[in-house]
Amino acid sequence: MKSILEAPFLVEMIRTTTNMYNHGWDERNGGNISLLLEPEEVAEYLDIRHVIRTIPTGFTAPELEGRYFLVTGTGKYFKNVEVAPDVNLGIVRLVDSGRQAELLWGYSDGGQFTSEFPAHMMSHVARLAVDPANHVVMHCHPANLLAMTYIHDLDERAFTRTLWQMCTECIVVFPEGVNVLPWMLCGTNEIGEATAEKMKTARLVVWAQHGIYGAGKDLDETFGLIETAEKAAEIYLKIAHLPLVNTISDEAMHLLEKRFGIKAREGYLD
């Protein structure tokens, strides 16, 4: 059997966590990622009949019965994933209608998946219903987006329009906009359910005064979504205290829709 350390999904996960740490999005143990894996790709590297231990999830998700995920560990630092992937990551299979996770690899110090597992799994259910190709849910704490939630109206249309106006290509990258949750207690099923509800209509969900969730078909796409929104928030913070002389008009946004064949969220443009 091939070494799991050579599995493309593991290599890509390590590259992504390292890159996110280097972007300053994941201080200490901040942030978490879950990547949906196909049974055949896991079986190339692991004996999928061998369960190391079973971990209760605290929720049900029958839609994910039998599905495999590579997930960052709770309390683990993204900066350490590259030096000790088997300690900081784990591969689990959901069973018993999602109530239990069978550990097939990783969390080798006795650890377990992220405390945000409910938000991740419930978001996977929501995104898979919209797009069966969705494989990634990613959470992190990018400073500019976070800062923006202290000074900007949290109304989703207003928040989205500001981000779109900060860089020409924002509307192209996330035409559905960003959804926003008010501050809520993290690590709970309640914030998981609220996040999943927001994920039905957008791949980006801001958690006010906390961070952001992104979803996408692969790690690159999801990283790129967050990267683009975070860049827009950075520009907003550079100019928010200055008189605004120019902006990207709604007329210009409509030209972008035509040029790139995208459709802005209904009612978000005048």
Q: Report the catalytic residues.
A: 116
Task: Identify which of residues 181 and 253 has a Cβ nearer to ligand 13P in the complex.
Answer: 181
If the CB atoms of residues 31 and 192 are measured against ligand 13P, the closer one turns out to be: 31
Query: Rule CB under 6 A: which residues touch ligand 13P?
Result: 29-32, 72, 74-75, 114-116, 139, 186
Residue 199 Cβ vs ligand 13P, minimum distance, rounded to whole Å: 16
User: How is residue 91 written in tokens?
Assistant: 């591969």
Q: Distances in Å between the alpha carbon of 207 and those of 9, 64, 100, 111?
A: 27, 24, 27, 26
The C-alpha atoms of residue 31 and residue 212 are separated, in whole angstroms, by: 9
In angstroms, what is the minimal distance from the CB of 30 to ligand 13P?
Answer: 5
3-state secondary structure of 252: helix
| 188 interface partner picked from Zn ion, ligand 13P, none, CB below 5 to 8 A per type | none
Distances 97 to 7, 61, 192, 240 between C-alpha atoms, Å: 28, 6, 17, 47
Tokens 């069966």 correspond to what residue?
A: 132
Binding at 32: pick from ligand 13P, Zn ion, none (beta carbon under 5-8 Å per type):
ligand 13P
| SS3 annotation, 36-74 | EECHHHHHCCCCCCCCCEEEECCCCCHHHCCCEEEEEEC
Residues that bind Zn ion in the complex, under the rule CB under 5 A: 211
Name which of 60 and 115 has its Cβ closer to Zn ion.
115
Side chain identity at residue 17, one-letter code: T
Asked whether 167 and 233 are in contact (CB, 8 A), the reply is no
For ligand 13P, give the closer residue by CB, 164 or 223.
Answer: 223
Q: How far is the CB of 140 from ligand 13P (least distance, A)?
A: 7
Q: How far is the CB of 100 from ligand 13P (least distance, A)?
A: 19
Backbone angles phi, psi at 160, to 5 degrees: -65, -45
Closest separation in Å from C-beta 139 to ligand 13P: 6
39 binds, among Zn ion, ligand 13P, none (CB under 5 to 8 A by kind): none
What are the b/e assignments for 65-86, b being 16+ CB within 10 Å?
eebbbbbbbbebbbbbbeeebe
Q: Is 136 helix (H, G, I), strand (E, B) or coil?
A: strand
| Closer of 32 and 160 to ligand 13P (Cβ) | 32
Q: Which of Zn ion, ligand 13P, none interacts with 189 (beta carbon under 5 to 8 A by kind)?
A: none
- What residue number has its CB nearest to Zn ion? 211
